[in-house]
Every structure is written in C-alpha cells, then in structure tokens.
C-alpha cells in the first residue's frame, strides 16, 4: 500500500509501529499533490517547507518516546478560511488574498498540541458562500471522479483533496451543508459536529449561528478519530459547549439492532431529487433494516421552509460579519480613492465576488428598518418551529436519514442561476438551523460513475450514535472504489 | 414582492458597494426572487412562537476580569495597507 | 411668547474594570497607539467576543444606584455603521433588552429638589480614536476599542442648563461612589451628548430637537445648552423651523454648527449578536449587588445632617465627591467636632485642590493629618492661623504636621511673662496709640495685638495677647 493510500487510522498505526516515518508519509502526500494538483486544483497553498520541518520534529519526538498524541505526524489539509498563523488565509477572496493571520485558530492550536501537521490550505467558495467552489476568486476546484464536474462547496477543495488521497484528513466548515454536500459529491465521509462542539475561534465567520468546523475522511472510523482531535471546550468562544465530550469512536463496531431510524417523507418527495439518488437512499434504508435497525417513514412538516429561513438568517449574519473588510486594518485596499467612504466602496467592490455581494445585499435588506420583522424576525420564529419538529423526531428516533444532495455532482458552470445552486443544500440546511450534528457517507455510484451520499442526522452531542449507525452501514455496503480523474481537459 | 431600484440603491449604500445600472437591475431581480420565497414563510403561523436567536439555550457565558497580554504593535499592524507610527492610516476624516 | 427649554442627556460612562469588555486587553487610559490591543478588539477575521463578568456587575450596580429596575434577562445586539474608529463596522451594544430600565436621580438646584428620570442603561463597547496628526490622512488608534461603557439615557426632564449640570454632577458622584467609574471627563471616562429642544410655555408637545456630541466638560455642556436654546428660540421667533440634526458645538466661539455634509440617517440594523449569549440575573443576584453597594451620596448626606448635625449645605458639599466624603469621615473618626472638620475641608482643602488643579481623589493629605492639626490648635500648641499655614504645608509637602511645627518652630507662644515684656516694650514705644486707647478708642487694642503678632511672626497666642495687652494698657 502506498503511504498516501492509508486511511487516518492506518497511518496513525503505521507511525506508532514505526513502519513509516512522518517524513515519508508527508513526502508521499506532497508528491501526490504535485502530481494531481494541476488537474484537481484543490489547494490554495501547499506548506511544503513547514510541513516537512514539522514531520522531522514529529519523527524526533517519536524516536525519543515523546509523541504528543496518537496523531503526532499526521498531515492534514485545512480549509483556507481557518486562520493559520504565519500562513496566508485568504477565504478564496481577493479582499484577503494577502492576509497573513497573526494568530492560530483554536483547532490549529489543537493540531499543534497533538503534532498534527498543516499540509496545505484548501480552496473554497469565497467566504464559504456557495455550493460548488466555483465562487472562489482563485479558480474552481475539480471533482476527482470527473474533472469536468464540481467537487461541491463550499469546502470543495478539502473534499477533493481527501478524495484524491492528497491527505487522510481535511478540515472544512459547514454552515448550510458545506462539508456534507461536497463529501457526497466526492465520495468521501464529511461530518458536521453539533453546533458548539468545535471552537469557531479563528474560523473566519460567515454565519455565526450555523458555522462549524468538521472533518473530511475516507472512512467513518477516521471521522470519529478526527472528532477526538478537534472537538472540545474553548473559553475564547462564547458558543463553545462547556460539557463532557465523549470518545467519539466509542460506538464504532457496535451493532445497530433496534436502532430507530426515521425518514421524513418530505425529503424523498422533493421535486429535484434524482431517481438514482432516491434509489441509492432506499438501498441504504434496506441495508439498515437488514442490519436489524428499524427504519420508519415519518414527517417533518416545516422541511420546505428551512431553505428560505436559512438564507434569510445566514445572509443577515454574513453581511454583518463581512462589514469589517474595509481596507483599513488588513486585506485589500483600493489604489485610487477620494476620501474614506470612497475607500470603503472601491475596496469592497474590487474585493468581493458576485455571490458574496448578492448575500450581502439580501442580508442588509432583511435587517433594514421596515423589513426586520417581516423577514429576519419571521425567519427566527420559523427556526424555532424547525427545531421543534426535530425535537419531536428525536423523541422517537435515534437518527434521521435522507439523501445528502438531490443529485450527484453537476457539471462545472451548469448551475448559473443562484436559486438552482441554493437548492442543492435543501437537505443539509435544516441541520444547521437546529444546531444538530449530521454526516454524509458514500452509499453508491450513479450510472455516470459519480458518488452518491446518504445523510444521517442525530440530535445535539449524539455523534457517537450517528457514527455507530454510519459505520455499520459503511461496513455493509460495497465500497465505491477510488476516483478515476476522468473527464476534464487532458 | 417588488423591490424598487431606489431600495436597491439604499441597500448598496448600507453595504458600502457601488453598483452599475445593470448590476442594480440584477440585484433587484435576485432580491425579488428570494423575497418571493420568503413570503411563503407566512404560511406558517408563528403567532405565539418565540424567535430563536441562540440555538443552544445557554446563558451567562462570562469571563473573569483578568488581564491578558496584548498583541505586539508590529504584529498587530503587519497586515495594514497603510501604517505610520503604530497607527492605521486612512484618508483625512473631518469630524 | 415665552419659551421653555427641554433637555435630555445621553451619558457614556467608561467602567473601571481591569480589562476590556470582550477581551483580556488592559483597560487603561493613554499609552502608545495600538499597544493595548489584540485580534479581538481590532476586529480581525475569525475572532470572537467573550463578555467580562465585571462589566455585568458594574452595569447592574449603576442601575441599582440610580433606582432602575435591573433586568432578569438582557442580551447583546449588533449596531451596524461605518466609521474608521469602529473596526468591525458594528458596535456590540444592547438594543431592546438593556440591563436596566426606568430609574431616576434626584437633583438640587438652588435649593429646589427635582427628580430626573432615567429611561435606560445599557452595556456597550467603546470605539477607537482618530488622531489627526498623521502626515497625510488620519491615524487610527484602537487602544480605546472595546473599553466597556454604560450608556445612561435620561428622560427629557431637564428644563435648564443648571439642571443639566446638576444632573451630571449628581450622576458623576453616584458613579464614583459605586466604584463603577472614576468619571474623569478630561480622560474621556465620562462623555455627554445633549438633546435640546424648545417649546412655548404650556405646550404639551415637544419641539424638534437637535443633538450635540463630543462635549468635553460640564461647563461646555452648560454653554452648549444655553447657546443652542437661544439659537432655537431665535429661529422660531423669526418664523423659522428647527431641523432635526446633529450639531457641533464650538466651545471657544460659543456657537453650534450644523455638521458638514449630508448627514446620513443611520439605519443601524440592530439584531441579536449571534456570538454572545443572553445575560440572566436572578433576583437573588440582583439583591446581592444591591447589598454590596456602599452608602450612596444622598443617604450619606442625610446621615451627616441628622447624625452629625451638619447643615444641609455643608453635607451637600462634603458628599458631592466620594473622595471628599471619605476624607471627611476619616478625619471625623479621629476628631469629634464634625463642624470644624467640615469647615476646614470646605475653606481650605477644596481651595487648595482647586488652586493646584487637582481632583479630590488626588488629595495628598491624609485624614489623620488634619485631625492632628485640629488637636494641636485645641491644645493651644499652635493657633488657628498657624494651623492653616501648616495644613497648606502638609498639602504641598506631605510631611506630618507635628514635624512641620517642630522644624519651623511654630509652637505658639503662650508664655505670659515673655508676652508681657513684649507688650510693655511696644506700649513704651508707641505713645500715640496708647493715648488713643486711653482716650476711649478701645479699638486701638488691635494695633498692639497686631504688633505682637508681627513681632512673634504670628506665633503668639492671640487670646493671651489680648488679655495681657488690655491689662497693660489699662495700667499705663
């Protein structure tokens, strides 16, 4: 097995048993990146020198029996909206194209404390707003399964990187599905932890009520190990959960006999759902039943309103979070301007892309006086109803199952209408509104050879149960294989 | 839901963006499209429903009043487009 | 047509916490620009605020000290607007659910008591400062960014500049007493925005109001109110109308000006800050805060009147500032004649502080030192005049009174023999005044007393001198 083919668990074991060194592993991944990046374009920056240096130090520690953790020496890709001290963090936006944070995000401090190496910064939709990574100011990333297709978004670069075996672990961020949808398109595992389980300190904010950092991995067990590395209380984040955190791998390998899985009928009845995705989802349900779980159709009446509520609330928070980009303290500043107001306007006009501007306008509209009650406040009330719907569901069920996205990955440029793009998040956004945890894992391939994902949702702080179900399903389903890098330009 | 161009202009000012005439029309269209969807939220009766601004239901996250070291001025201003004598420089502002 | 002036004030008070409201940077006035800052208070990408518990405590105490209802539930909101001193382009403040509501403060103007309502008090973060000394452009200093503020909004209950000043004095005093703020306007820890309107006497509706910001002293507030009131009355008398606007007051020219350029009506787009969770206080916690408040100025003043028998005016002066009241109490603990202590404070201490341009809390004299002086006077060791001079010396040098008296040889001369000799000599040398005295001008006695005081450099015991001089003159 090549080093880059190793899963996170395999790599950790190999390092521990000294079957491989961190330097060898890191080099293998860097070589893999060098070979594939021209086609996949998953990464904004590769931290080659720092990564090799960190790998050397890791090996030294291990040699003297002072490994910082079981993951010491594991390289990981980090989405480029997570602040890495001394290394550019651009959010794939012109306005932060040269921004070098003077501090590390909390998750990066956790990485450092465990010896996990930041290998590269991955591409994303600008400021995490998008579902295809086509909104990146630096060019779109490609789907390793078909290079003329999108990898999904906004964490498309991280999903593609793990899918292409550029790293056994990548961090993304999920605000309305930005980890789960690209995971589904790229045939990897993507998990959004419970809101508050991973510190947001250092994650460049998009929608503060919804944003969460989470892992991409190639197996479910890897995702559990990743959660152990990144979850935990942070006193610098007022929304960080001050609670007991479990060993996230505790449920791996346990059976799912008697586990109750609810499938809201509204999800499988929605208009844009492709037949193949529907069939794949139904296959997953059947598989669960064969494993002894109880799969039942149920209902979620507020489902159809979630997307709209999400767009109103997230745009409002986004516009506020992005107002700080003004050319004064950091980031891009326009060259010619006449006075401070002109400085702001020119800088922001030049620095932001279309999708960001679109959401900014919507956000300011719904917050402006005269419209606040009708839109923003109404959306917050609808959010309460959505949460209540989920509470009722979790009274009866351990997990909820749905497709992750209505279709497999679409062709680059295919969804030019923003509304069509927004609809790809239809199954994922309710989770963020309610602060739940959810994940996507591969459950099949389309006739066109593109991965299809199934979406599992659990109530807050119930990742262990969700991972238990996901693992059982993963083990029972045939593997989908490796990406073919087909299509696209030669 | 109609959004007059004058509204689009007002919102652009609040957003500190400047739009061409064509862009204004585009934003007008995009806004109207989303707001039309937003109207559908009125199908839900939210009369006695409290808005959820914070999903976790947590209160009183506070920290002790203890001093922590500030950031070195050089590091703090390293990303500034223009700086002088430890300050961030902007065009002349008349107060 | 007589007009009535209506005034409302919005007072921003910087809280005397150790650290800023949302980060651990030191809350300290001054310093080189951008040296008390961190990524949080300069609004860098990815940072998050965490609320300082002391800010909640101080804000609640400020509310309790001004008779407000402290909220069991309040939350933080974002107030969005663009200005270079605001790094996030929003200020974290409180909009619809502030920490305190519906209080009042009682003021006294020329012996008339009046109650001024307080609409609300809320917590918020301060913005940075713009420095205009840059070579080209304006320099921004974020040191002050994130300093915790409470904004105290009064009801439009004031009807004169004097009432406004009395309100500010009283509010400042209360804030100092609670320890919530040192309220030093010259350091910006107390700032005041003034809303002024006028209306015909007897009218029920309020007139259109204008706002004046950035007034940096209480006297500027007074002048601004008077000038603006006069301006509005003049406009209305001429048949014009008042435009609702923000005006800048020029302290030197004693005039206000409409702010230049089109004043954009601010749509602050308030919404609950998603990064901060609500603040809840139980009734027990609020009560505990109330119990921990020190005796407030009004209560202390009444106690001075009732228990110590001080006149209302004196009690008012002594309790006006916490530092003065504490000095008084410290001294009165060691010396029982409260009226005497009060007099010395009012005539001497306050004068010396004013002359030295010092705040009451910078007073270098310790209470015991005044008590010692008063005791020495009672014992006859020094006379009152000398005592006052010694007090001034203590103020200027910090040395103990006894040491000063010793060093300068100021002990009062009460030796009757010595004095009698002196007096006899003066009588012998001054036949004229002696003749005056004998001729019936009893007032001529003061000449002889004066001469003795001169000869002894003021150290003679005046009472004894008087007695002996009378005796000797009668004999002569």
User: C45, C80, C92, C271: best mutation site toward chain A, by most A Cβ within 10 Å?
Assistant: C45
Residue A403 contacts residue A455 (beta carbons within 8 Å): yes
The two three-digit tokens of residue C341, written as one number: 């202590």
Query: And the tokens for C193?
Result: 């925005």
Q: How far is B4 from chain C (nearest CA, A)?
A: 18
Asked if C140 and A328 come within 8 Å (Cβ–Cβ), the reply is yes
Mean pLDDT of B58-70: 98
| Assigned domain for A76 exists | yes
Contact A238 C43 (CB under 8 A): no
- Residue A120 sits in a domain whose CATH number is 3.90.1300.10
Computed over every residue of chain C, the mean pLDDT equals 93
CA distance A282 to A436: 23
Task: Tell me whether C238 touches chain A (CB under 8 Å).
Answer: no
Structural domains of chain C in order of their starting residue, each with its CATH number: 3-286 (no CATH), 295-408 (no CATH), 416-475 (1.10.10.410)
Mean pLDDT value of segment B10-35: 96
The CA distances from residue A421 to A130, A312, A361, B31, in Å, are 8, 16, 18, 15
Contact C32 B86 (CB under 8 A): yes
Q: Which helix (H) or strand (E) holds A174?
A: strand A170-174
- For B82, the closest chain A residue by CA position comes to A328
Q: Is A97 on the interface with B (CB under 8 A)?
A: no
CB C207 within 8 A of CB C6: yes
pLDDT tens-digit readout, A259-317: 999 999 999 998 899 999 999 999 999 999 999 999 999 999 999 999 999 999 999 99
- Report yes or no: B74 and C37 within 8 Å, Cβ to Cβ: no
Enumerate the active-site residues of A: 79, 154, 178
Q: What is the pLDDT of residues A68-80, one digit of tens each?
A: 999 999 999 999 9
Phi first, then psi: give them for residue A84, nearest 5 degrees: -120, 115
Residue A215 lies in a domain: yes
Unique residue bearing structure tokens 């152990």: A228
- Residue A228 resides in a domain: yes
Residue C80 at interface with chain A, using a CB cutoff of 8 Å:
yes
- Rounded to the nearest angstrom, the minimum Cα separation between C3 and chain B is 32
Q: Which of B65, B70, B85 sits opposite C18 (nearest CB)?
A: B65
For residues C266 and B71, give the distance between their C-alpha atoms in angstroms, rounded to a whole number.
33
CA distance C54 to C21: 9
A430 located within any domain:
no
Q: What is the pLDDT of residue A490?
A: 45
pLDDT at C215: 86
Query: Is B73–C75 a contact, with Cβ atoms under 8 angstroms apart?
Result: no
Domains with residue ranges and CATH for chain B: 5-43 (1.10.20)
| Per-residue model confidence (pLDDT) at position C186 | 82
If one counts every other C-beta atom within 10 angstroms of the C-beta of residue A192, the result is 33
* Beta carbons of B11 and A364 less than 8 Å apart: yes
- Interface check C47 vs A, CB under 8 A: yes
Range of the domain at A90: 3-255+463-476
Structural domains counted in chain A: 1
In chain C, what residues touch B65 (CB-CB under 8 Å)?
Answer: 17-19, 52-55
Asked whether residue A136 is assigned to any structural domain, the reply reads yes
Q: What is the mean pLDDT of residues A358-368?
A: 97
Which chain A residues are within 8 Å of C269, Cβ to Cβ? 320, 364, 367-369, 372
In this complex, is the C-beta atom of C469 within 8 Å of any C-beta atom belonging to chain A? no
Are the C-beta atoms of residues C146 and C40 closer than 8 Å to each other? Answer: yes
Query: The complex's ipTM?
Result: 0.97
pLDDT at A170: 98
Q: Which of B27, B64, B81 to mutate to test the interface with A (most CBs of A within 10 A)?
A: B81
B35·A375 Cβ contact <8 A: yes
Q: Is A298 on the interface with C (CB under 8 A)?
A: no
Going from the C-alpha of C103 to that of each of C48, C153, C280, the distances in angstroms are: 33, 10, 19
Contact state of B16 with C82 under an 8 Å Cβ cutoff: yes
Report the pLDDT averaged over residues A245-257: 97
Chain B residues close to A357, C-beta within 8 Å:
15, 17, 27
The pLDDT value recorded for residue A356 is 98
Between chains, do C45 and A323 touch, taking CB under 8 Å as contact? no
Residue of B nearest to C135 (CA): B84
- Helix, strand, or coil (residue C81): coil
The residue of chain A nearest to residue C87, with distances taken between CA atoms, is A324
Model-wide pTM > 0.90: yes
In the predicted model, residues of chain C with pLDDT beneath 50 are: 261-262
Could B16 and A239 be called an inter-chain contact, meaning their C-beta atoms sit closer than 8 Å?
Answer: no
Residue A377 lies in a domain: no
Whether residue A41 has pLDDT greater than 50: yes
């Amino acid at each position: 097995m090549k080093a880059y083919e190793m899963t996170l668990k395999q790599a950790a074991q190999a390092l521990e048993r000294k079957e491989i060194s961190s330097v060898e592993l890191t080099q293998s991944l860097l070589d893999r990146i060098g070979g594939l990046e021209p086609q996949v374009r998953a990464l904004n920056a590769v931290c080659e020198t720092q990564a090799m240096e960190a790998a050397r130090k890791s090996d030294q520690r291990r040699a003297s029996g002072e490994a910082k953790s079981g993951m010491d020496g594991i390289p990981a890709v980090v989405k480029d909206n997570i602040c890495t001290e001394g290394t550019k963090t651009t959010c794939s936006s012109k306005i932060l194209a040269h921004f070098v944070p003077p501090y590390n995000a909390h998750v990066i401090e956790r990485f450092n404390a465990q010896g996990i190496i930041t290998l590269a910064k991955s591409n994303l939709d600008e400021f995490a707003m998008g579902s295809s990574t086509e909104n990146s100011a630096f060019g779109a990333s490609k789907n390793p399964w078909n290079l003329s297709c999108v990898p999904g978004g906004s964490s498309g670069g991280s999903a593609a990187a793990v899918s292409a075996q550029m790293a056994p672990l990548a961090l993304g961020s999920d605000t309305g599905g930005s980890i789960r949808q690209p995971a589904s398109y790229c045939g990897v595992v993507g998990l959004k932890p419970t809101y508050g389980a991973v510190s947001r300190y250092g994650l460049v904010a998009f929608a503060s009520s919804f944003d969460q950092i989470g892992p991409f991995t190639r197996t479910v067990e890897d995702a559990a190990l990743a959660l152990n590395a990144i979850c935990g209380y942070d006193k610098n984040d007022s929304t960080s959960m001050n609670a007991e955190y479990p060993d996230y791998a505790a449920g791996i390998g346990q059976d799912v006999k008697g586990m109750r899985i609810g499938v809201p009928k509204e999800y499988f009845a929605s208009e844009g759902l492709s037949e193949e995705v529907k069939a794949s989802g139904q296959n997953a349900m059947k598989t669960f039943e064969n494993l002894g779980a109880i799969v039942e159709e149920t209902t979620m009446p507020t489902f159809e309103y979630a997307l709209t509520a999400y767009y109103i609330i997230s745009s409002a928070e986004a516009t506020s979070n992005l107002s700080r980009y003004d050319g004064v303290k950091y980031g891009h500043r326009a060259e010619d301007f006449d006075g401070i107001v002109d400085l702001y306007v020119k800088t922001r006009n030049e620095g932001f892309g279309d999708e960001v501007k679109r959401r900014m306008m919507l956000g300011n509209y719904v917050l402006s006086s005269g419209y606040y009650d009708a839109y923003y406040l109404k959306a917050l009330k609808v959010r309460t109803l959505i949460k209540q719907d989920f509470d009722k569901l979790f009274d009866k069920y351990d997990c909820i199952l749905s497709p992750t996205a209505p279709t497999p990955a679409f062709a680059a440029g295919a969804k030019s209408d923003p509304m069509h793009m927004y609809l790809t998040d239809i199954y994922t956004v309710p989770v963020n509104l309610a602060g739940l945890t959810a994940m996507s894992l591969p459950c099949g391939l389309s006739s066109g050879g593109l991965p299809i994902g199934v979406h599992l949702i659990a109530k807050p702080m119930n990742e262990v149960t969700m991972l238990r179900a996901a693992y059982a399903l993963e083990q029972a389903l045939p593997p989908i294989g490796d990406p073919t890098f087909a299509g696209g330009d030669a | 839901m109609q959004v007059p161009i004058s509204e689009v202009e007002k919102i652009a000012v609040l957003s500190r963006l400047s739009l061409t005439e064509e862009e204004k029309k585009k934003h007008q269209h995009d806004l109207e499209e989303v707001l039309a969807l937003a109207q559908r939220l009125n199908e839900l009766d939210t009369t006695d429903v409290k808005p959820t601004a914070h999903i976790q239901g947590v209160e009183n996250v506070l920290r002790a009043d203890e001093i922590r070291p500030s950031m070195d001025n050089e590091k703090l201003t390293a990303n500034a487009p223009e700086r002088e004598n430890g300050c961030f420089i902007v065009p002349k502002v008349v107060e | 047509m007589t007009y009535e002036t209506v005034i409302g004030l919005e007072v921003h008070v910087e809280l005397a916490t150790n650290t800023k409201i949302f980060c651990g940077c030191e809350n300290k006035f001054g310093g080189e620009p951008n040296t008390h800052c961190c990524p949080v208070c300069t609004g860098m990408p990815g940072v998050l605020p965490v609320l300082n518990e002391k800010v909640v405590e101080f804000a609640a105490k400020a509310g309790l000290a001004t008779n407000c209802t402290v909220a069991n539930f309040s939350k933080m909101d974002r107030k969005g607007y663009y200005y270079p001193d605001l790094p996030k382009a929003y200020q974290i403040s409180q909009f619809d659910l502030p920490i305190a509501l519906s209080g009042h403060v009682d003021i006294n103007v020329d012996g008339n008591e009046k109650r001024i309502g307080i609409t609300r008090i809320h917590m918020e973060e301060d913005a940075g400062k713009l420095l205009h000394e840059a070579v080209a452009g304006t320099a921004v200093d974020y040191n002050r960014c994130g300093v915790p503020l409470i904004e105290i909004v009064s009801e439009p209950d004031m009807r004169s500049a004097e009432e406004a000043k009395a309100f500010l004095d009283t509010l400042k005093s209360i804030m100092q007493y609670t320890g919530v703020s040192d309220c030093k306007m010259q350091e910006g820890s107390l700032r005041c925005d003034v809303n002024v309107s006028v209306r015909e006497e007897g009218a029920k509706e309020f007139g259109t109001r204008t706002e004046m910001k950035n007034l940096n002293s209480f006297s500027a507030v007074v002048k601004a109110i008077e000038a603006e009131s006069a301006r509005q009355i003049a406009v209305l008398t001429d048949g014009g109308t008042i435009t609702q606007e923000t005006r800048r007051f020029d302290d030197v020219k004693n005039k206000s000006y409409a702010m230049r350029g089109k004043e954009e009506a601010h749509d602050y787009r308030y919404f609950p800050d998603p990064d901060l969770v609500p603040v809840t206080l139980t009734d027990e916690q609020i009560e505990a805060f109330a119990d921990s408040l020190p005796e407030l100025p009004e209560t202390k003043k009444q106690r001075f009147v009732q228990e110590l028998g001080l006149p209302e005016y004196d009690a008012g002066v002594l309790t006006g500032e916490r530092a003065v009241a504490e000095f008084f109490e410290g001294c009165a603990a060691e010396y029982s004649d409260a009226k005497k202590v009060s007099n010395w404070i009012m005539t001497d201490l306050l004068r010396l502080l004013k002359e030295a341009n010092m705040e009451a809390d910078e007073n270098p004299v310790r209470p015991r030192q005044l008590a010692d002086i008063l005791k020495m006077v009672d014992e006859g060791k020094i006379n009152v005049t000398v005592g006052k001079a010694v007090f001034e010396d203590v103020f200027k040098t910090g040395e103990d009174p006894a040491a000063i008296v010793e060093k300068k040889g100021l002990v009062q001369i009460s030796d009757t023999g010595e004095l009698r000799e002196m007096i006899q000599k003066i009588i012998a040398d001054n036949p004229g005044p002696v003749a005056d005295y004998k001729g019936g001008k009893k007032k001529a006695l003061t000449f002889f007393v004066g001469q003795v005081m001169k000869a002894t450099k003021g150290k003679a015991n005046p009472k004894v001198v008087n007695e002996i001089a009378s005796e000797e003159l009668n004999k002569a």
